[in-house]
């Protein structure tokens, strides 16, 4: 029977832990690499609902994008996520910026593919992925295609009439990259989170913004990752979480 370490060794082939950004916390954050795995749940976040799914499916492992432990822990209460994982002997393998930065198979590559951004390359040392659309369109047309591709209930955009073809992509929180994207010739930045002052700066620079939401721009990886793991490990059942959402509603 395969172990957590076997799964980790496989993820090292496309999202090596040493490629994560310096501030990050990735890898096996809870549990033992020697744990045998028959079932695993794949989710963007490890929430109480995801742990409930793991328990219902008798899964020994949860693989998440966001680290279940990011800042130093000073205490572990009995109702905390980490306590529940330990209490129920569930390991947690977290692939964060190492998965963002994976050029062969990662969050940004899956996001770009989903929205039709082609021939993209990463900016050296940054989570910024730049490519082109097949045709030049207005940013409103591009935003509509993003909304459909990511199944967004809503999104934010600027400069709707701005013609865009060269697109910078940064899943999750990437508003800070607008000036860099502009300097590299991008017409628009697709991201999942951008602050007010970053929007104002981007508009001044005449680079269009499409903000599709942190969850939607990153959850795009969970289904392909689940499929990839199922293809590699025939004796393990990898299950995409159904409970993990951004919990946001739109009026």
What pLDDT tens digit does each residue of the chain (251 aa) get?
A: 999 999 999 999 999 999 999 999 999 999 999 999 999 999 999 999 999 999 999 999 999 999 999 999 999 999 999 999 999 999 999 999 999 999 999 999 999 999 999 999 999 889 999 999 999 999 999 999 999 999 999 999 999 999 999 999 999 999 999 999 999 999 999 999 999 999 999 999 999 999 999 999 999 999 999 999 999 999 999 999 999 999 999 98
Looking at the structure, tell me whether residues 88 and 147 fall in a common domain. no
Looking at the structure, tell me whether residues 13 and 69 fall in a common domain. yes
Is the pTM above the cut of 0.75?
yes
CATH code, domain carrying 34: 3.40.1390.30
Looking at the structure, tell me whether residues 89 and 167 fall in a common domain. no
Pair type for strands 156-157 and 208-211:
antiparallel
Looking at the structure, tell me whether residues 129 and 90 fall in a common domain. no
- Domain residue limits at 149: 107-218
From first CA to last CA, the distance across the chain in angstroms is 48
- Residue 209, helix vs strand vs coil: strand
Q: How many domains does the chain have?
A: 2
The dihedrals phi and psi of 165, each to the nearest 5 degrees, come to: -145, -50
Q: Which residues have C-beta within 8 Å of that of residue 171, sequence separation ≥ 6? A: 100, 107, 108, 111, 127, 191, 192, 217, 218, 220
> Is position 49 within any domain?
yes
Among the three residues 67, 99, 131, which one is the final residue of a domain in this structure? 99
Q: Which residues have C-beta within 8 Å of that of residue 127, sequence separation ≥ 6? A: 21, 97, 100, 101, 108, 170, 171, 172, 174, 177
Among the three residues 52, 80, 99, which one is the final residue of a domain in this structure? 99
Overall residue count recorded for the chain in this entry: 251
Long-range contacts of 151-157 (CB under 8 A, 24+ apart): 151/216, 152/212, 152/213, 152/216, 153/248, 153/249, 153/250, 154/250, 155/210, 155/211, 155/212, 155/213, 155/216, 156/194, 156/209, 156/210, 156/211, 157/208, 157/209, 157/210, 157/211
Looking at the structure, tell me whether residues 111 and 91 fall in a common domain. no
With contact defined as beta carbons under 8 Å apart, do 127 and 100 qualify? yes
Looking at the structure, tell me whether residues 87 and 122 fall in a common domain. no
């Amino acid at each position: 029977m395969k172990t957590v370490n076997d799964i980790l060794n496989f993820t090292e082939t496309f999202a090596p832990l040493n490629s994560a950004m310096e501030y990050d916390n990735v890898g096996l954050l809870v549990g033992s690499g020697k744990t045998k795995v028959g079932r695993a749940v794949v989710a963007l976040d490890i929430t109480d609902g995801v742990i409930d799914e793991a328990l219902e499916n008798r899964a020994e492992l949860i693989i998440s994008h966001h680290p279940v432990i990011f800042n130093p822990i000073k205490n572990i209460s009995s109702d905390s996520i980490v306590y529940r994982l330990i209490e129920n002997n569930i390991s947690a393998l977290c692939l964060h910026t190492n998965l963002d930065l994976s050029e062969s198979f990662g969050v940004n590559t899956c996001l770009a593919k989903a929205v039709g951004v082609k021939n993209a390359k990463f900016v050296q040392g940054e989570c910024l992925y730049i490519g082109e659309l097949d045709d030049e369109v207005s940013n409103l047309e591009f935003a509509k295609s993003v909304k459909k591709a990511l199944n967004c209930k809503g999104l934010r955009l600027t400069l709707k009439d701005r013609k865009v073809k060269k697109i910078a992509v940064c899943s999750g929180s990437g508003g800070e990259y607008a000036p860099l994207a502009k300097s590299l010739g991008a017409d628009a930045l697709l991201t999942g989170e951008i602050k007010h002052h970053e929007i104002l700066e981007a508009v001044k620079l005449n680079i269009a913004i499409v903000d599709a939401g942190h969850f939607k721009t990153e959850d795009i990886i969970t289904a392909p990752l689940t499929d990839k793991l199922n293809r590699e490990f025939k004796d393990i059942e990898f299950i995409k979480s159904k409970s993990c959402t951004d919990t946001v509603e739109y009026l």
